[in-house]
Structure 1
Amino acid sequence: MELVRDTYRQPEEYVKGIPLVKSFAEALGPLQSFQPQPDDLLISTYPKSGLETLKETPAPRLLKTHLPLALLPQSLLDRKIKVVYVARNAKDVAVSYYHFYCMAKVHPDPGTWDSFLEKFMAGKVCYGSWYQHVQEWWELSRTHPVLYLCYEDMKENPKREIQKIMEFVGRSLPEEIVDHIVQHTSFEEMKKNPMTNYTTVPHDIMDHDISPFMRRGMAGDWKTTFTVAQSEHFDADYAEKMTGWELSFCSQLGVVLSGNHSRRSV
């Protein structure tokens, strides 16, 4: 029997040394002429996404990207647009990204988990290296208005992190409204919401039978996928690439991923 191929899967295309889904790479040209507004707020995380359909969006606008700095429109940096950056521990990102590659068929076939993990560690997945991404946005925070947050901190105390964001953008809200935001931005609520769970996307493009877009959202879920050998191999590579950086991340709530660097309050 002839196997049916996933016709939506695209090859990767390198832009400035960074691998991207071909259609995303082709969209970067027009993006470079994007003109930000002074009260725009850029939300950046690793990986996947872009800036689109913003021309008709009223101010203040929320812009979302997963682009590394090298591919970001220079105008966003020149105009000192405020940035909220959210980082997550590398092991959970690798597992989540693998499942996303499997279900979102715009990506190349991810192959086995073991082979995908090697590509992730080498930065040969779409949007490039996790290490470079978290490091360069942290470095940018020295000269640019960047609020650098950790996913695990948001899981542990979402109200505290939301209050950090409000202070950063110079807004205040009554406590009951903040509590309402905390409730409706919880992973459990967003997983049920068609506006955030991508269940309206055609099955041929995002196959939720393979994996839901919002899968588990747990800190430390990597332990269900990594073998002991993979974990040890990853930790050694991680320690080498993160040596000398002030950044560290929790591999699960309350446990800092090992590496020769100190945790700095972010």
Structure 2
Amino acid sequence: MMDLRSEEEVPNFSDFKRLKPVEVEGVPLASNTAENWGLLWAFAARPDDLLICTYPKAGTTWIQEIVDMLQQGGDPQKCARAPTDKRMPFLDLFLPKPMNSGLEDAEVLPSPRTLKTHLPVQLLPPSFWEQKFMWGSWSDHVRGWWEAKDQHPILYLFYEDIKEDPAREIRKVAQFLGIELTEPVLKQIVQHTTFENMKANPMANYSSIPSCIMDHAVSPFMRKGAVGNWKEQFTVAQSERLDEICARELGGSGGLTFRTQL
């Protein structure tokens, strides 16, 4: 399904520039998100909302497509009904008008909704703590979500685990969602959500986003999808330094560890 607009509705992006970070409660956010913080903080979660929360570029789109495939009974045609950001609105995304914000898309989405955010635990709108939701993945805020998992219904997932055995991890997601998963549907989801298929899927690869916001000619949204490519970028000294930082920051977290290669 294409998101067709009349000429009058097409936004003018000629003045669009890269947004500067603005701190909200000590956390740097995009300036347009900070400007709309009151609206975001007041967002009303619903009892049957499912929230996918990750750090950027940590497998977010992958788990979104897996969840949608589970919800649609493994039917790829149903998952092709709209781009990812329309199927699962990005709550903290505010684009130039007349494009909708993630909040606006979420408000008109019928229940049950599946939503997305990159917010750390302390900035999540308070209404979510009264409801049920789901998180997973890596960043400086992983410890906050890790510590919250024992008090709230949170499924914590790791990118490396999904790469290693996608069928095993998809079963975990299905169990968390209370969805009965047959082997044929599981195989369909595994095939549909391979990195190669996701990268070629216009409903998942963000190719519909205007080039002034996301220029795929410079770098596609989905790049390599590999584990361990850091070896091509880090020196031995840099790797050892990062290990020290992770050990310090995650120390005492009660078993929170990350694999950096398979």
Partner of 2:36: 27
Letter in 1 for 2:195: F
Q: 1:176 aligns with which of 162, 181, 184?
A: 184
Q: State the partner residue of 2:161.
A: 153
Counterpart-to-counterpart distance in 2, 1:157 and 1:59? 31
Give the SS at the match of 2:237: helix
Q: Secondary structure at the match of 2:168?
A: helix
Aligned to 2:49: 40
Structure 2 counterpart of 1:86, from 124, 136, 142: 136
C-alpha distance in structure 2 between counterparts of 1:82 and 1:13, whole Å: 27
- State the partner residue of 1:91: none
Q: Deviations over 1:98-123 (max 9, x none)?
A: xxxxxxxxxxxxxxxxxxxxxxxxxx
1:11 paired residue number: 20
Residue deviations 1:197-232 (CA, integer Å, cap 9, x gap): 112222222122222111111111111111222212
Give me the TM-score of the superposition, normalised by structure 2: 0.73
Residue 14 of structure 1 aligns to a residue whose secondary structure is: strand
> Once the 2 structures are TM-superposed, how far is the Cα of residue 7 of structure 1 from its aligned partner?
5.6
Q: Which amino acid aligns with 2:124?
A: L
CA–CA distance in 1 between the matches of 2:216 and 2:154? 34
Length-normalised TM-score, structure 1: 0.72
Structure 1 unaligned runs (5+)? 1-5, 89-129, 254-266
* Percent of aligned pairs with the same amino acid: 49
Q: Tell me if the contact between 2:21 and 2:30 (Cα under 8 Å) persists in the aligned partners.
A: yes
Instruction: Say if 2:68 is the partner of 1:60.
Output: no
For residues 185 and 28 of structure 1, the distance between their equivalents in structure 2, rounded to whole angstroms, comes to 33
Aligned to 2:211: 203
In 2, distance between residues paired with 1:190 and 1:147? 23
CA distance in 1, matches of 2:133, 2:229: 31
Confirm or deny that 1:192 pairs with 2:242.
no
CA offset at residue 174 of structure 1?
2.3
Does residue 135 (structure 1) correspond to residue 143 (structure 2)? The answer is yes
CA contact (8 A) 2:41 2:124 kept: yes
Q: 1:63-119 CA distances to partner (integer Å, 9 max, x unpaired)?
A: 11110112111000122x121x2224xxxxxxxxxxxxxxxxxxxxxxxxxxxxxxx
SS in 2 for 1:54: helix
Q: Runs of 4 or more off by more than 4 Å in structure 1?
A: none
Q: Which letter maps to 1:211?
A: S
Q: Does structure 2 retain, via aligned residues, the 8 Å contact 1:50–1:67? A: no
Larger CA deviation: 6-15 vs 33-42: 6-15
For structure 2, the residue ranges without an aligned partner over 5 or more in a row are 1-14, 58-89, 93-101
